[in-house]
Amino acid sequence: MDLRQLNAVLAVADHGSFSAAADALHTVQSNVSTHVARLERDLGVSLIDRSDGCRLTEEGQAVVERARRINGELDALVADVAAMRAEVVGNVRIGMIGTTARWLVPQLLAAMADRHPKVHLVVIDGVSTSLEPQLTTGHLDLAVVNLPPDPFQRPYNPGSELMATPLFDEDLLLIVPVDHKLAGNATVAIADTDGLELLLPAPGTAFREEIDEAVATGGARWLPKAEIDGIRLIASLTFEGLGPAVLPATAVPADRNGAWRAVSVDGLPCRSVGIALRRKGRPSAPVRAVISVLEQVVEDGMTERAGLHPPALPHRP
């Protein structure tokens, strides 16, 4: 087994055919086929089902996931050695939830260009439920995601391949039209929102779980007008007039044209956002540099953005 064989399988998986893989690797199709066949012979299994459009077998999927991590470790090795010469160089693939990316990415790019100009960032916008699998399989080096509502479940659940550290907390606000019955209140109790129809996050997401728990504890019930996986999409729909919603403070634009009101709901928790990494393997020097800059940019943003707070430190009762 050698790297050429692993990269051949990766290329077929990524590009969908042996010919496309050959183009991506700047070689001929016969070389790709030979490398894949030799790896299959060494492992004693079929990695690619050629009868079904070059679909990966179960064994092939396992090899691809490990091969991505191997390539990531090789990239980290090169980057770490370069960093020892006081020069951080390399690529970092970072995923980020959309509402946070909207305000954080511009500042991150500017700060990285100033402090680590030879680090190349690839930023993937997505929801937590789509970013976490990409992090697990090695498509991403780190991700900024919603954290579980229970601080004692962090980092994630036992046995998870991911770990996370809190980055910041932010207030959750109820956004309603100016003619809504609650629009005249600066703050309301959860009990006063019973029966409210809202655009809600999709069931099973961390954001939805913390909302559901708080509303139930407050003795109320919210009705889903629609359930949507993606806070930024919920915000867009809300401000287009399709329904009230609970949104993080940073997802609420300062200019709402006077058509909407932001109402605090006493008893709603803050949303917790954190940096997720794979448990295994040491982050490369470029990844560590990005994390350091992220933390500094967020710390600076605490004084500039309403509703942002340092992450709460959990204490067991």
pLDDT digit string, tens, across residues 105-122:
999 999 999 999 999 999
Query: How high is the mean pLDDT of the chain?
Result: 85
Residue-range domains of the chain with CATH: 3-68 (1.10.10.10), 88-169+272-309 (3.40.190.10), 172-269 (3.40.190.290)
Structure confidence by residue, pLDDT tens digits, 133-158: 999 888 899 999 988 755 445 555 54
How far is it, in rounded angstroms, from Cα 41 to Cα 47?
10
Distances 233 to 97, 98, 105, 230, 238 between C-alpha atoms, Å = 11, 9, 18, 5, 9
Euclidean distance between CA atoms 182 and 194, whole angstroms: 12
The CA distance from 317 to 314, in Å, is 9
Triad 159, 230, 190: Cα angle to 5°: 90
pLDDT digits (tens, 9 = 90+) for 56-82: 888 888 888 888 888 777 777 777 776
User: What pTM was computed for the model?
Assistant: 0.69
